Structure 1
Amino acid sequence: MSFKITPDLITLQVYCDRNVPEVGALLTLEKFSGGQSNPSFKLTTTTGELVLRRQPLGHLLKSAHAVDREYKVIRALQSSNVPVPKAIHLCTDKEVIGSQFFIMSFVTGDIFWNAALATLDERPCFGESPNSKRAKIYDQMNLALVNLHRINPQDVGLAGFGRPGNYFARQLDRWTKQYIAAKTEENHNAEFLIKWLGENLPDDDGLISIVHGDFRLDNMIFSQDSQDLCAILDWELSTLGHPYADLAYQCMQLRLPANMGNVPGLGGVYREELGIPSEEDYVALYCERIGIDKIDNWQFYIAFSFFRLLSIVQGVVKRGKDGNASNPKALELEHLLTPLSNLAVRAIKEDY
């Protein structure tokens, strides 16, 4: 049986009637334009608006696009102080629409795609300056990350959500294998980076927490009027791991050049003029809130984060070349592969 990336509404209705009747009659299904990984759809029903998130079609790399794990962690965090959509239903039967999928609530609000938050300059202030709004958004992200890392996995039913041992050793092995499996061109800096990371792997310090895995601005929804964080999205890479991985990954994203196109960061931007904290201040606030003095081996964590993003982008490009990418613009990311590897090598020689 052949399937299309947009699920058949009649087939989906039959399944929902039998397994999740509370969603009501299905009216429309519209694919969201953003995102490069698991295709997501706005599902309008007689009971309201929902989101359906599925795996892409075609051959999937091992452990990639794990919507079942994504659903599990969202469900586990329902009663926590980490904002997530309401988890409604998970379907693991791939014969329904061609892959696993889950349904969650639709959260209204703003998703910002540019780290400089320039769109806030165009809105009415109502007594609050754009800079103070930007500062609040970054503070909200910082606090949410601290709250996530403070949760005891056992308390929310996630004690077995990850493997024991050195998290970064496992992650380096995973992303190296995925990079090699998806490689479409030679990249000498990437090869150097894999070698350097292996030789400079920090000793396991025993820290473990729930990690989001893709903690960045455009995976969050903020209130349009108060800039409060309403929901954190895209948990497919979540696991039990080292908390510094999330923090370094977010800071790495902000090091990307502001003119990088698909993934603009704050490189070359004078953050203070925008009310956005420096990387050093952002990390210091995290340390203060989590109760530590500082983070050692910061260059490793940043360089690893660059390599991880490089591997993710390489996977998207490979799916684009194979014709099964979630986003039709997947191949446009190919031009990022060399700059990302260059930035990773540069990070080895820098601190903040």
Structure 2
Amino acid sequence: MSERQQQFSGTGEVRTGQEIDPARLEAWMTENVEGYAGPLTIRQFNGGQSNPTYKLVTPKQNYVLRRKPPGVLLPSAHAVDREYRVITALHAQGFPAPRTFGLCKDDAVIGTWFYIMDCVDGRVIWDATFPDATPDTRAAYFDAMNQTIADLHMIDVDKAGLTDFGKPGNYFARQIARWSRQYIEDPDAGRVPSMDKLVEWLPNNIPVGDEISVVHGDYRCDNMIFHPSEPKVLAVLDWELSTIGHPLADFSYHLMMYRMPPTGTTGLVGNDLKALGIPSEDEYVAAYCRRTGRTGIPDLDFYVAYNMFRLAGIIHGIRGRVVRGTAANAHARKTAEGVEMLADLAWAQAQKVGA
């Protein structure tokens, strides 16, 4: 079992400072969740850096609760209401997103906004090498991930009722501005030289052309639930960063695994992909292009540089929460150490295209 699998798998006792009053929650669920019947036992999932996530155990059914973390939050962060909306809409379209049961915007219930969804039985894989799989099944797992993200990007936004889920067009410009702003406006986490360079370079080098789709924003193997014994995606989780955006931003974020080290991430660098049965980056890109009707992905290095910058910005935010004492995960401090490495790696991708 990998270090990440050991750290983040399963549930434990609810962490100090993130407790939930079971009586208040039970009263709300009795009123708002169809078919709910207690008694209720609350456990907290070990994974999840941003929004604390809990397993709610009852005699008849298990649920999952996602909430905003307690404490002072950055503007627009931890948008559990947006998660709830997109999961509900995509589930109705037949996409593998969990069924939802209710959203609560009343802080008086448990202290922050939260929503309830189905607890999907299966496995979360925290290591992109799928260490327990054979070469043949590894190839099938990668094909399932590739098919699922292609399916997401082919969903009709209007038909799904998500036309106004994000601003159409200029996605890269808006996202670069957003993450630059959040980076600059979080002085607790400090400044990073490569991040400063990227804040200046990225907005002036955005490729021409635009497309629109639902984007997940954090699509990787550990944000999926796989079938207990088959290479099949049962549910895609953690939609906090989802919006209407550019599908190639979403896909290239997922593709970063091919250019990231395995230390502290789901990176594949340093592994013998052929021996493991994992498709090469070129093969994986070709499969996605075939499924989405593309002839290729020009400017891929820019997209990867942008996504590494964005991920560094996210982890920079985690560092800020560690400093402020509001980080949701016990391993957040270790994760926050990766900002400089990611920013340097992002700048190296930018240099491939002339930075």
Fold shared per TM-score above 0.5: yes
Partner Cα distance (2:241, 2:39) in 1: 29
Q: Tell me, what secondary structure is at the counterpart of 1:22?
A: coil
1:243 to 242, 247, 252: 247
CA contact (8 A) 1:109 1:223 kept: yes
Partner Cα distance (1:77, 1:215) in 2: 15
The normalised TM-score by structure 1 is 0.92
Q: Tell me, what secondary structure is at the counterpart of 1:77?
A: helix
2:224 to 220, 223, 242: 220
- The number of residues matched between the two structures is 337
2:198 equivalent to 1:193: yes
Q: What is the Cα deviation at residue 4 of structure 1?
A: 4.4
Runs of 4+ in structure 1 off by over 3 angstroms are none
The letter of the residue matching 2:203 is: G
2:296 equivalent to 1:283: no
Cα distance per residue 1:128-162 (max 9 Å; x no partner): xx011111111011101111111111101111101
Partner Cα distance (1:320, 1:349) in 2: 31
Q: Tell me, what secondary structure is at the counterpart of 1:78?
A: helix
Partner Cα distance (2:352, 2:275) in 1: 23
Partner Cα distance (1:211, 1:334) in 2: 25
Cα distance per residue 1:252-303 (max 9 Å; x no partner): 1332112x1x214101112111111111111111111101101121111000
Contiguous gaps of at least 5 residues in structure 1: 121-129
Q: What is the Cα deviation at residue 338 of structure 1?
A: 1.2
2:146 to 142, 147, 161: 142
Bigger CA drift: 141-150 or 177-186?
Answer: 177-186
Partner Cα distance (1:168, 1:65) in 2: 21
Match of 2:104 in 1: 91
Partner Cα distance (1:48, 1:81) in 2: 22
Cα distance per residue 1:55-102 (max 9 Å; x no partner): 101111111111100010110011334211111111111221111100
2:330 to 328, 331, 340: 328
The normalised TM-score by structure 2 is 0.92
CA contact (8 A) 2:302 2:350 kept: yes
Q: What is the Cα deviation at residue 251 of structure 1?
A: 1.0
Q: What is the Cα deviation at residue 188 of structure 1?
A: 1.0
> Aligned-residue CA RMSD in angstroms?
1.5
The letter of the residue matching 2:347 is: V
1:22-171 correspondence runs (5 A): 22-120=35-133, 130-171=134-175
Over the matched positions of the two proteins, sequence identity in percent amounts to 43
Partner Cα distance (1:252, 1:57) in 2: 31
Q: Tell me, what secondary structure is at the counterpart of 1:267?
A: coil
The letter of the residue matching 1:8 is: D
CA contact (8 A) 1:9 1:26 kept: no
Contiguous gaps of at least 5 residues in structure 2: 1-15
Q: What is the Cα deviation at residue 21 of structure 1?
A: 5.1
Match of 2:26 in 1: 13
1:206 to 206, 210, 231: 210
Partner Cα distance (1:253, 1:318) in 2: 25
